[in-house]
Chain A
Amino acid sequence: MNVAPRIRTRTLGQVHVPTVTLSHGGGGKAMKDLIDDVFVRAFDSAVLAPLEDQARFDLSDLARHGDRLAFTTDSFVVDPLVFPGGDIGKLAVCGTVNDLAVGGARPLYLSCAVIVEEGVTIDLLRQIAGSMARTAAEAGVEIVTGDTKVVHRGACDKLFLTTTGIGVIREGVHLGVHLARDGDVVMVNGVLGDHGAAILCARGDMALATAIESDCAPLNGLIDALLAAAPGVRFLRDATRGGLATVLNEIAEASQVAIEIEERATPIREDVKAFCEILGLDPLYLANEGKIVVVAPPEEAEAALAALRRHPLGGCAAIVGRVHAGEPGRVTMRTVFGGRRIVDMLVGEQLPRIC
């Protein structure tokens, strides 16, 4: 890689005040000090360090990883900023890394755009930037460019992040939501609903004390192992907002197939189940930040499941259902009770029931 020498050619600025003010967004020294002290220091990237207006990559370097670019973006507005199992920074890196990885891409570079409300503490920003840096290192990606805006109090809720990512898709890997076929096997890499339940608990509105933690994690390593063991996998998607139910509906619709899942086979932690029972929520629709839905051809199902289970992020992987040639677009569930019901898309967000 000959993008830049891995030596700092200039002294990094320092912030000496406890909170962000509008002056940190003014484009002057205060802004440069904030960016240097909080972000450049944490991200410690040779590509970022020269602080050009753009990150620059060698095409030949990218081409070593595969034959197509993957490019994605995601914004993060989670409340609260710090929650059991993660924070907005970890989430912002994992979200974009996972969106690249489920396309069969090796995630390589991320950008990070920050919108911060005046009054947020510098310590909190440092904490979030540090979390982003650790997660990026864990995922093996670099944060190479960014932007910072400071807005008036009330113009945003403390801190919004947007990460954009570039990855390179391996040769021969062609995953697609339209590729599910009759007989294919549907699996997940572990327990469902932890992130959604953890966030709802952390908001404190429900006054429920639980030990539920977000499952937020970068999944590119797991997906590497999966695709190496089962190269015929048809489709992967991270089951974020809308949960497993939403992803299954997207597959059934795009592939014009039916899918039936087994409630008994769907892995959900006991405390997440209890949380959902109390509030009248359906865990199939709760968000995950470290779970993928895998559609694999039957002949590779065993290899795929074994590969998931061997990985630390797939220990509770399970086959949850099958694709079949029923009414195109329909997702059903065989309930623990022995009945069947339709699992449809959610209309809005789930709201706790009255009684």
Chain B
Amino acid sequence: MKYLDEFRDSAKASILVREIEALVASMDIADDKPLNIMEVCGGHTHSIFRYGVEGMLPKQIELVHGPGCPVCVLPMGRVDDCVAIAEQSHVIFTTFGDAMRVPGSKKSLLQAKADGADVRMVYSPMDALAIARANPTREVVFFGLGFETTTPSTALTILQAENDGVTNFSVFCNHITIVPTIKAILDSPDLRLDGFLGPGHVSMVIGTAPYEFIARVYRKPMVVAGFEPLDILQSIWMVVRQIKEGRAEIENQYARVVPEDGNAPALRAVSRVYELREFFEWRGLGSIDHSGVRLRDEYARFDAERKFAIPNVRVADPQSCQCGEVLKGAIKPWQCKVFGSACTPETPLGALMVSSEGACAAYYQYGGVKHHEAAE
């Protein structure tokens, strides 16, 4: 396919793998202390498994699959709130596809749909707005979910609804922000990370400046990376090169998409519609300060949290679940006590087993051939 096959070229990949091998060979890396590089974004995790990137890397490099899967980190209590809204008879509840299966404490949206709720899958919040226009006697709620990649599209949809005078449309806002989350991971005492692959599409919106503290304060290298497998290999090579040279900088491998300053109109729409929450609850990581956004008072009429009575009950993660440790790179998915036994993609206990972008589900589904063979 034009402009995709070029980024999946196996000949170029083997050149990059040899370069990476040569780099690590020239560094003094103990076998039991490999370089731990975290890909923050779930899209990267998906590509790494989809193309078998992990198995191509030398054993001195371990990839740690980070918290950047918005579906995975959604706490059960918020899913319960979704179900409570969706089950009101006058509501049409619209959502991205992969949020349908996320388990709440009692049921997922998929189960709520089976029980009679009008839950519809959409691919864009604008589709939800179109459903609202077509169903003026119903309340249409869009499940706003995701990092800065999807936040602007929800903001623009709300502005569009305001402009068009649509009154039966609202957003259940669960948009989250990546920077406080990376900071929370960096502040964690059991952290064992040597560098980061930065999220490509989040950075397309926010630019690269917000990451500067990672290099300056925490002295960790980060390379903002694209999502094709060659992007990922090149970015790993760039991170390793920084480590070898003793540098800690924010570099941009994905310059064909990510402008250093981000996307100004998107950022303006976001700050017009949203404000930071004091804190937001994450599955597996607990509460993180300023890590989520809510609608400003001026847009309260589009805020499903204010429009509907929602239970808003905090539900604790299952005790056996070690998602937090996996997210921070302290353990590997298969080292979790319940991986593949009590916790599977069919009956996920933990966040990371929920979406195909979650590290545990990716291991379970696509299987790190490397680790499977090591275990044999």
> Using a CB–CB distance below 8 Å, which chain A residues touch chain B?
205-207, 270, 273-274, 277, 279-280, 282, 327, 332-333, 335-344, 347-348, 351-355
Query: Which residues of chain B have C-beta atoms less than 8 A from A355's C-beta?
Result: 43, 70, 146-147, 149-150, 201
Among B47-55, B256-264, B303-311, the stretch in contact with A: B47-55
* Cβ-defined contact, B97 with A353, below 8 A: yes
A335 CB, nearest partner CB in chain B, Å: 5
Given A277-B1, A354-B145: A339 and B150 interface contact (C-beta under 8 Å): no
Pick the contact of A344 from B50, B70, B366 — CB < 8 Å? B366
Q: How far is the CA of A274 from the CA of B4 in the complex (A)?
A: 9
Given known contacts A206-B123, A352-B97, A353-B357, what 19 new A-B pairs fall within 8 Å (CB)? Answer: A207-B127, A277-B4, A327-B376, A336-B8, A336-B51, A337-B9, A339-B55, A339-B56, A340-B52, A340-B369, A341-B55, A341-B367, A342-B372, A347-B344, A351-B97, A351-B121, A353-B98, A353-B355, A354-B98
B146 CB, nearest partner CB in chain A, Å: 6
Given A337-B229, A341-B367: A352 and B51 interface contact (C-beta under 8 Å): no
A211 CB, nearest partner CB in chain B, Å: 15
* Cβ-defined contact, A270 with B1, below 8 A: yes
Query: Which residues of chain A have C-beta atoms less than 8 A from B70's C-beta?
Result: 354-355
| B88 is an interface residue with CB less than 8 A from chain A | no
Query: Which residues of chain B have C-beta atoms less than 8 A from A332's C-beta?
Result: 369
Query: Which residues of chain A have C-beta atoms less than 8 A from B101's C-beta?
Result: 348, 351
* Cβ-defined contact, A341 with B366, below 8 A: yes
| B96 is an interface residue with CB less than 8 A from chain A | yes
Mind listing 16 A-B residue pairs with CB under 8 Å? A333-B52, A335-B51, A337-B10, A337-B230, A339-B56, A341-B49, A341-B367, A342-B367, A344-B366, A352-B121, A353-B46, A354-B96, A354-B355, A355-B43, A355-B146, A355-B201
| B100 is an interface residue with CB less than 8 A from chain A | yes
Query: Which residues of chain A have C-beta atoms less than 8 A from B13's C-beta?
Result: 337-338
Docked complex: B35-88 residues within 8 A CB-CB of A: 43, 46, 49-56, 70-71
Which residue of B is nearest A341, CB measured? B52
Query: Which residues of chain A have C-beta atoms less than 8 A from B364's C-beta?
Result: 344
| B338 is an interface residue with CB less than 8 A from chain A | no
Query: Which residues of chain B have C-beta atoms less than 8 A from A336's C-beta?
Result: 5, 8, 10, 51
Query: Which residues of chain B have C-beta atoms less than 8 A from A274's C-beta?
Result: 1
> Using a CB–CB distance below 8 Å, which chain B residues touch chain A?
1, 4-5, 8-10, 13-14, 43, 46, 49-56, 70-71, 96-101, 110, 121-124, 127, 145-147, 149-150, 201, 229-230, 344-346, 355-357, 364-367, 369, 372, 376
* Cβ-defined contact, A335 with B52, below 8 A: yes
* Cβ-defined contact, B121 with A335, below 8 A: no
* Cβ-defined contact, B366 with A342, below 8 A: yes
* Cβ-defined contact, B50 with A335, below 8 A: yes
* Cβ-defined contact, B52 with A351, below 8 A: no
Query: Which residues of chain B have C-beta atoms less than 8 A from A352's C-beta?
Result: 96-98, 121, 123
Given A344-B365, A347-B346, A353-B356: A339 and B97 interface contact (C-beta under 8 Å): no
Chain A facing B: main interface SS = loop
Which residue of B is nearest A281, CB measured? B97
Query: Which residues of chain A have C-beta atoms less than 8 A from B98's C-beta?
Result: 351-354
Query: Which residues of chain B have C-beta atoms less than 8 A from A337's C-beta?
Result: 8-10, 13, 51-53, 56, 229-230
Q: How far is the CA of A270 from the CA of B97 in the complex (A)?
A: 24
* Cβ-defined contact, A205 with B122, below 8 A: yes
Query: Which residues of chain A have C-beta atoms less than 8 A from B10's C-beta?
Result: 336-338
Q: How far is the CA of A206 from the CA of B123 in the complex (A)?
A: 6
Q: How far is the CA of A336 from the CA of B1 in the complex (A)?
A: 12
* Cβ-defined contact, B369 with A347, below 8 A: no
Q: How far is the CA of A346 from the CA of B282 in the complex (A)?
A: 27
Query: Which residues of chain A have C-beta atoms less than 8 A from B43's C-beta?
Result: 355
Query: Which residues of chain A have C-beta atoms less than 8 A from B56's C-beta?
Result: 337-339
Query: Which residues of chain A have C-beta atoms less than 8 A from B14's C-beta?
Result: 338
Q: How far is the CA of A114 from the CA of B70 in the complex (A)?
A: 44
Q: How far is the CA of A47 from the CA of B277 in the complex (A)?
A: 73
B150 CB, nearest partner CB in chain A, Å: 6
Q: How far is the CA of A332 from the CA of B369 in the complex (A)?
A: 9
Which residue of B is nearest A348, CB measured? B101
B30 CB, nearest partner CB in chain A, Å: 26
Pick the contact of A340 from B55, B124, B356 — CB < 8 Å? B55
Which residue of B is nearest A279, CB measured? B123
Which residue of A is nearest B110, CB measured? A348
* Cβ-defined contact, B53 with A354, below 8 A: no
Query: Which residues of chain A have C-beta atoms less than 8 A from B147's C-beta?
Result: 355
Which residue of A is nearest B17, CB measured? A338
Q: How far is the CA of A333 from the CA of B51 in the complex (A)?
A: 9
Query: Which residues of chain A have C-beta atoms less than 8 A from B55's C-beta?
Result: 339-341
Q: How far is the CA of A333 from the CA of B55 in the complex (A)?
A: 12
- A-B pairs, top 6 by smallest CB distance, nearest first, are A339-B52, A342-B367, A351-B97, A338-B10, A352-B97, A337-B51
- Most A CB atoms within 10 A — which of B52, B127, B356? B52
B133 CB, nearest partner CB in chain A, Å: 15
Q: How far is the CA of A291 from the CA of B49 in the complex (A)?
A: 27
A63 CB, nearest partner CB in chain B, Å: 46
Query: Which residues of chain B have C-beta atoms less than 8 A from A353's C-beta?
Result: 46, 96-98, 355-357
* Cβ-defined contact, A354 with B8, below 8 A: no
Q: How far is the CA of A66 from the CA of B219 in the complex (A)?
A: 76
Which residue of B is nearest A338, CB measured? B10
* Cβ-defined contact, A342 with B369, below 8 A: yes
Query: Which residues of chain B have C-beta atoms less than 8 A from A351's C-beta?
Result: 97-98, 100-101, 121
Query: Which residues of chain A have C-beta atoms less than 8 A from B230's C-beta?
Result: 337
A38 CB, nearest partner CB in chain B, Å: 33
Which residue of A is nearest B356, CB measured? A353
* Cβ-defined contact, A341 with B123, below 8 A: no
Q: How far is the CA of A7 from the CA of B346 in the complex (A)?
A: 56
